[in-house]
Structure 1
Amino acid sequence: MPHRTIPGASGRVRPLVLHGDAVLRARCAEVTDFGPPLARLVDDLFATMYAARGVGLAANQVGEALRVFVFDCPDDEDERHLGHVVNPTLVTADGVTVRGPEGCLSLPGLEAGTERFDHAVVEGVDVLGEPVRIDGTGFFARCLQHESDHLDGGLYVDRVTGWRAHRVRRAVARGRWRG
């Protein structure tokens, strides 16, 4: 059996960027250098995501304004999806709209019912520049949409509507990560 490395095993846990930091609101830059620094970033993202007990993490959440995210996320059938994508494009977000609980490592302790499509497809490349296509349903589709939003400067709280939006705005205003 070939030796496989565990994502994040040699990565460094980085501090998370919290709501209010400008890097979370800017569109991230396309990755153009596919050398060792990119591989280290991906490994650091995995290590940081695992340490924070998340299911996805975008590079700007550790202060790197690059179009990269990692995930280790189940779908609604509890199938595990593990990977990363560089220069992702959300090419499909469709199906039924589902309101479900959503949180973010950059807004610790806050969660709100957020509407997302139950199907999403992301295309991009891996750390070697090889094409990848990630197709997700259910909770995993929510994760793909959430991380794609991050790379465009969006946060899930931007998508919360109605009375939930009012509640989230109040919670953000009281939070230690105001911005």
Structure 2
Amino acid sequence: MTAALAVEKIKLKHPPLQLHYLGDRVLRQDTKRIAKVDNTLRNLIKEMLQTMYSEDGIGLAAPQVGINKRLIVADCDPENATSPPLVLVNPEIQGFSQELCVGQEGCLSIPEVFLDVLRPRAIEVKFKDESGRPRRMKASGLLARVIQHETDHLNGVLFVDRVPNDLVLAEALRKQGFSTRAVETI
């Protein structure tokens, strides 16, 4: 993370960007590739990070704030001021582990709903960083889950679409005032 993009990991009373919630069509659109990494994009990255920290998130995709771009920010250690967040511009998952694992997921676009989702334990992803440099990395555990979850957002997929138990899903959504009609089962 470049110094120009350093963002304090604090909750702002008024985050710069507004979240969109389950049922909003912006969450179901395929996103557009980013042609160039410039200061305008870096400003958006900064605002996405500020919004993510303000909402107690560990990942945020551009569609969640109404922006139709292939951009993700993530930070699996938001309490640690010295660990830099991860910025993925145009991420492409290149490989998945054969080993799968179940983990509980939540989403800033579906507040207070936490459900188990089956995903590959490890991935390999290629992307550009906040300076526009091509990068490739392997991730496992929580970071792999976050990258897969946020990459799904870039393709119009939400984690609730991957929950196999319709009864558990319906109950969790109903409790928080969301409709199961907004779910598109995969």
TM-score, length-scaled by structure 1: 0.85
Gaps of 5+ in 2: 78-82
1:113 equivalent in alignment to 2:116 = yes
Aligned residues: 170
Instruction: Find the counterpart in structure 2 of residue 20 from structure 1.
Output: 23
1:160 equivalent in alignment to 2:163 = yes
Distance 1:114 1:172, change over 3 A: same
User: Using the alignment, how far apart are the partners of 1:4 and 1:128 within structure 2?
Assistant: 11
Greater mean alpha carbon deviation, residues 58-67 or residues 27-36: 27-36
Distance 1:33 1:50, change over 3 A: same
Superposed CA RMSD in Å reads 2.3
3-state SS, counterpart of residue 111 of structure 2: coil
Map of 1:84-99 to 2, 5 A cutoff? Answer: 84-99=87-102
User: Using the alignment, how far apart are the partners of 2:46 and 2:135 within structure 1?
Assistant: 18
Shift in Å at residue 123 of structure 1?
Answer: 0.7
Do the aligned partners of 1:94 and 1:118 also contact (CA within 8 Å) in 2? yes
Instruction: Find the counterpart in structure 2 of residue 147 from structure 1.
Output: 150
User: Using the alignment, how far apart are the partners of 2:54 and 2:6 within structure 1?
Assistant: 12
Shift in Å at residue 38 of structure 1?
Answer: 0.4
TM-score, length-scaled by structure 2: 0.82
Shift in Å at residue 177 of structure 1?
Answer: 4.5
Instruction: Find the counterpart in structure 1 of residue 7 from structure 2.
Output: 8
Identity %: 33
User: Using the alignment, how far apart are the partners of 2:103 and 2:73 within structure 1?
Assistant: 21
Instruction: Find the counterpart in structure 1 of residue 80 from structure 2.
Output: none
Shift in Å at residue 127 of structure 1?
Answer: 3.0
Distance 1:43 1:149, change over 3 A: same
Instruction: Find the counterpart in structure 1 of residue 85 from structure 2.
Output: 82
Gaps of 5+ in 1: 75-79
Distance 1:155 1:19, change over 3 A: same
Do the aligned partners of 1:71 and 1:81 also contact (CA within 8 Å) in 2? no
**1:36-87: CA deviation from partner (whole Å, max 9, x where unpaired):** 210011101110111111111001111101000001115xxxxx67310111
Map of 1:14-53 to 2, 5 A cutoff? Answer: 14-53=17-56
Shift in Å at residue 172 of structure 1?
Answer: 2.6
